[in-house]
C-alpha cells in the first residue's frame, strides 16, 4: 500500500459527479445507503460546468441582444445598444456557480461524501482514488460508473490554439469576427447560431447532406432558413482534411463538390460528436470490456456483466443526454436497494436549442411506419396561433403521430418557440398512454402556445377548428 493511503468501506461508490452520478448518489443515500461520489474535475459534470447550462446562458444572452437590435418591425428601435461580452461571460459563470453550489449542498444534505480525485479499479470491489496530494482506496458493495463523455477529437484537427472544442468555445474572452464550425449537429448549430447573433461571421461545414441529420427535415429546414438570415454559410457534404494555424487565424482545408477548398477564420470549432470516458478507469483490470464504440453494455437495471457494477449516461448505449443519465441514475440506485425499477426509453425527449427550437419525443412518422405501425398524423402551424403571432414567433409547427386504430399517441415533433418546454406535455402523453382525444379534450389556456398541441390533436381527429380539415 502506498504511504498515506487509507482504505474506506462504502455501500455504494459512484464514479462521476455529473447529472447521472450525483442524482444516483442522492437517490442511493435516500434509500439508506452509505455513499461516496468521486470526480476528477468538478461537481455537476460537463453539463453544469461546460455544457448544457453555460451554453443555454450564452444562447439566451444572444437572443436578447438580437431582439434589442432587431425589433423595428414591432415599432421598437433601440439606439446605442452595446455588447459587453466579458460581462456576459461573468453572468454565465455566476449561473454555473449557483447550480454547482446547489448540487454540493444537496450532496452534503443527503450525507453523500464527495471526493475529488481520479478513480482507478484495482479489483472487482475496490478503486484507488488519486487526489492532488494523496490517495485512498474505497471498497464497495456496489459501484455506479457515471463518467460521461468528452468532445471527439479529429486526428487532422487536434484541439489546441485556435482549434476549439465546445468547452473552449463557451469561454472565449471576446466575440470573434469569424468562426468555422466543423460539424452541423446540435452543438455546432447552437453555438454557431449564438456567435452569429453576437456578430460573428460563421461558416458551418457538415459531412452529411443536411445539418441536424438526426432530426426530421421539415424541422431542420426552419433552422436552416434562420441560419441563413443571420448570414451563416452552410456547406454540406463537406469533409475537413486538416488545418494550419497562425497567431491570428486558422485555415481549414476541406473537400466539397468534388474539389478541395480552403477557409480562414479566427477560430475553428470542432463539434463532431462525443467520446465515452471509459478508457482510463482500469476496466481491463477487472475484466469489464467495452463494445467497439467504447460503451458498456447494460441490462434494464443498468447492470454491467458484473452484477454489482452499474453504468449510466454517456458511457452506455443510447443518446448522450443529461436527462437520460439522471433517469438511469435513479434506476440504478433503486435497483441496488432492491426495488423493481427498470429503464423504459419510449419517451426520452431530444431538444435542439436552435432558433427556432426543435424538440421530439417518441417515434417519428417514418420510424413508426418502418416498424409496421399504421399511423395517423396531425400538424398545426405556429402562424395560426394567436400567442405565437403576438410573440412575433410564427415559424414552426407541432406534429403528432398516433396509432390509426386506437388514437394512441406514440410520437411528437415540435419546431418553434418554446419547443423545449412544450415537449414535456407530449412526453407525458406518451408515457401515460394518452390518446388523441385526451389532448384534444384537455382545456388549454388562451392565448398560449400550448393551444397548438390541442389544435394538432383535433386536426389528427379530423375535428380541426382553426384550420381546414384534410
Active site members: 446
Q: CA 93 to CA 276: how far, in whole Å?
A: 26
Measure the CA–CA gap between 448 and 380, rounded to whole angstroms.
14
DSSP conformation letters of 66-129:
HHHHS-GGGT----S----HHHHHHHHHHHHHHHHHHHHHHHHHTTPEEEESEEEEEETTEEEE
Residue labelled with grid coordinates 432558433: 355
Is 160 in a helix, a strand, or coil? strand
Q: Are 444 and 450 contacting, i.e. CB atoms less than 8 angstroms apart?
A: yes
Give the 3-state secondary structure of residue 466: coil
Q: What are phi and psi of 415, to 5 degrees?
A: -130, 115
For residue 8, give the 3-state DSSP assignment.
strand
Cell numbers at residue 47, please?
Answer: 453539463
Which of 42, 39, 15, 17 is CA-nearest to residue 286?
15
Locate 469 and state its grid cell: 380539415
Report yes or no: 278 and 295 within 8 Å, Cβ to Cβ. Answer: yes
What is the C-alpha to C-alpha distance for residues 359 and 353, in angstroms, rounded to an integer?
9
> Are residues 172 and 265 in contact, defined by beta-carbon separation less than 8 angstroms?
no
Q: Within 13 Å of residue 285, how many CA atoms lie on the same side as its CB? A: 15
Residue 446 grid cell? 388562451
Looking at the DSSP bridge assignments, the partners of residue 376 are 402
Amino acid at each position: 500500500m502506498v504511504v498515506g493511503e487509507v482504505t474506506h468501506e462504502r455501500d455504494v461508490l459512484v464514479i462521476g459527479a455529473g447529472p447521472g452520478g450525483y442524482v444516483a448518489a442522492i437517490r442511493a443515500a435516500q434509500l439508506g445507503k452509505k455513499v461516496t461520489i468521486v470526480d476528477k474535475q468538478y461537481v455537476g459534470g460537463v453539463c453544469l460546468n461546460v455544457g448544457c447550462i453555460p451554453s443555454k446562458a450564452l444562447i439566451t444572452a444572444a437572443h436578447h441582444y438580437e431582439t434589442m437590435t432587431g425589433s423595428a418591425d414591432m415599432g421598437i428601435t433601440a439606439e446605442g445598444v452595446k455588447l459587453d461580452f466579458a460581462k456576459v461571460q461573468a453572468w454565465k459563470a455566476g449561473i454555473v456557480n449557483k447550480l454547482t453550489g446547489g448540487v454540493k449542498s444537496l450532496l452534503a444534505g443527503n450525507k453523500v461524501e464527495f471526493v475529488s480525485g481520479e478513480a482507478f479499479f484495482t479489483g472487482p470491489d475496490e478503486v484507488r482514488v488519486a487526489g492532488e496530494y494523496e490517495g485512498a482506496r474505497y471498497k464497495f458493495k456496489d459501484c455506479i460508473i457515471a463518467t460521461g463523455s468528452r468532445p471527439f477529437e479529429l486526428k487532422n484537427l487536434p484541439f489546441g490554439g485556435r482549434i476549439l472544442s465546445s468547452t473552449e468555445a463557451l469561454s472565449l474572452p471576446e466575440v470573434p469576427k469569424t468562426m468555422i464550425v466543423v460539424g452541423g449537429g446540435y452543438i455546432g448549430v447552437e453555438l454557431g447560431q449564438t456567435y452569429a447573433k453576437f456578430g460573428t461571421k460563421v461558416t458551418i461545414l457538415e459531412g452529411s447532406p443536411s445539418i441536424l441529420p438526426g432530426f426530421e427535415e421539415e424541422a431542420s429546414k426552419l433552422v436552416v432558413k434562420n441560419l441563413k438570415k443571420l448570414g451563416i454559410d452552410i456547406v454540406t457534404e463537406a469533409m475537413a482534411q486538416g488545418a494550419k494555424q497562425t497567431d491570428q487565424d486558422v485555415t481549414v482545408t476541406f473537400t466539397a463538390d468534388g474539389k478541395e477548398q480552403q477557409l480562414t477564420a479566427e477560430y475553428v470549432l470542432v463539434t463532431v460528436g462525443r467520446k465515452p470516458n471509459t478508457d482510463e478507469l482500469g476496466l481491463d483490470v477487472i475484466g469489464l470490456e467495452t463494445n467497439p464504440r467504447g460503451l458498456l453494455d447494460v441490462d434494464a437495471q443498468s447492470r454491467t456483466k458484473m452484477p454489482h457494477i452499474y453504468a449510466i449516461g454517456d458511457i452506455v448505449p443510447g443518446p448522450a443526454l443529461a436527462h437520460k443519465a439522471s433517469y438511469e441514475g435513479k434506476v440504478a440506485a433503486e435497483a441496488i436497494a432492491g426495488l423493481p425499477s427498470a429503464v423504459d426509453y419510449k419517451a426520452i425527449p431530444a431538444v435542439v436549442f436552435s432558433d427556432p427550437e426543435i424538440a421530439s419525443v417518441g417515434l417519428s412518422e417514418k420510424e413508426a411506419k418502418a416498424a409496421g405501425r399504421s399511423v395517423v398524423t396531425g400538424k398545426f402551424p405556429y402562424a395560426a396561433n394567436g400567442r405565437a403571432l403576438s410573440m412575433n414567433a410564427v415559424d414552426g409547427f407541432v406534429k403528432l403521430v398516433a396509432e390509426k386504430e386506437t388514437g394512441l399517441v406514440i410520437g411528437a415533433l415540435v419546431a418553434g418557440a418554446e419547443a423545449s418546454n412544450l415537449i414535456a406535455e407530449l412526453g407525458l402523453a406518451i408515457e401515460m398512454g394518452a390518446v388523441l382525444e385526451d389532448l384534444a379534450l384537455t382545456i388549454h389556456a388562451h392565448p398560449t402556445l400550448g393551444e397548438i398541441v390541442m389544435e394538432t390533436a383535433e386536426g389528427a381527429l379530423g375535428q380541426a377548428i382553426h384550420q381546414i380539415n384534410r
